[in-house]
Homo-oligomer: A and B are copies of this chain.
Amino acid sequence: MPEAASAQATRAVIGDSEFDRDTALTQREPGVYDIDLSAGWTIINAVNGGYLLAVLGRALADALPHSDPFTVSAHYLTASQPGPAVVRTETVRTGRTLSTGQASLFQRDEQGNEVERIRVLASYGDLDTLPDDVRTTAVPPALPPMDQCFGPEDGPAPVDGSSEIAGRLMLKLDPSTLGWALGKPSGKGEMRAWFGLADGRDPDPLALLLAVDALPPTAFEMGLTGWVPTVELTVHVRCRPAPGPLRVSITTRNLAGGFLEEDAEVWDSAGRLVAQSRQLARVRLS
């Protein structure tokens, strides 16, 4: 990954990074945007759901009068492919402190017909205008220091090894949630990691949309293998993240009837809970 390596030497900044370039949209007309979905954010052959969420989130940030996603609900319809796509947005309501919008991403199938890939409904606001009050009982995940955690580059274990996205992310997994990679899943529905962008770009609200769906599925630690496609994912951005690496904790409590929830929490370097998400995913029981 020479690109990521050289970028690390000169830390990328918000607005000029792999993530910014690969989520950049070209306005075709008001509210309608073209994008070439990058092959750099794929897992096996599928475009990562968090990357798609960031693309749609960026389109709405442009289309709505408020720029920060507060709550984004996405329903995943069909699998996206790298390549051309169009994002169509609709402004549902604009208010003084919150605006609500909708966005869909479409691609063309082999017959040239537009197919909808993902649809989101979202409310946006301005994080910087919120009061500083915090009353929380949530505590950051107990993660070992980053140099005691492991990423795909650290070993023979195939941790996302066949995925292009691995080269774009700084992902260091807590060894206590890495049993699955060694053939010894813990049986617990937990996954924890340090998270950043490989080129050193600091997190912002759009990067949080990526962070909540970037870890391996908790299902792996529950001893399941195979695909765990997201049906729906909702993320709440609660605070603008401070610069530096994020801590991401994902928990599954209930696997039932072939579906499970994945609850993610994202903490910034200042110890603030900056995002919460929950997704409903399907599992192939094995």
Contact = CB atoms under 8 A, between A and B. Distances in A.
Interface residues of A, number: 50
A253 B77 CA distance: 31
B256 A71 contact: no
A70 to B, nearest CB: 7
Given A231-B98, A238-B259, A255-B134, A73 B70 contact: no
Interface string A254-265: 111111010000
Contacts of A100: 75, 77, 119
A276 interface: yes
Contacts of A231: 70-71, 98, 123
A96 to B, nearest CB: 12
A168 interface: no
A134 B134 CA distance: 37
Interface in A114-173: 116, 119-123, 127, 130-138
A63 to B, nearest CB: 15
A122 B78 CA distance: 15
Contacts of A136: 253-256
A278 interface: yes
A181 interface: no
Given A92-B75, A98-B231, A231-B70, A257 B285 contact: no
A273 interface: yes
Interface class of chain A by DSSP: strand
Interface string A261-286: 10000000000110010101000010
A222 interface: yes
A121 B120 CA distance: 8
A255 B75 CA distance: 27
Nearest to A277: B278
Given A73-B232, A238-B259, A92 B121 contact: no
A74 B261 CA distance: 18
Contacts of A234: 73, 232, 234, 278
25 contacts: A71-B231, A71-B232, A73-B73, A73-B75, A75-B92, A75-B121, A75-B123, A78-B93, A92-B116, A92-B119, A100-B119, A102-B119, A121-B121, A123-B231, A130-B257, A132-B257, A133-B255, A134-B254, A135-B222, A135-B255, A236-B259, A236-B278, A254-B276, A261-B276, A278-B278
Interface of A: 70-71, 73, 75, 77-78, 92-93, 98, 100, 102, 116, 119-123, 127, 130-138, 188-189, 222, 231-232, 234, 236, 238-239, 253-259, 261, 272-273, 276, 278, 280, 285
Given A75-B123, A77-B93, A239-B257, 4 more contacts: A71-B232, A134-B257, A232-B234, A236-B259
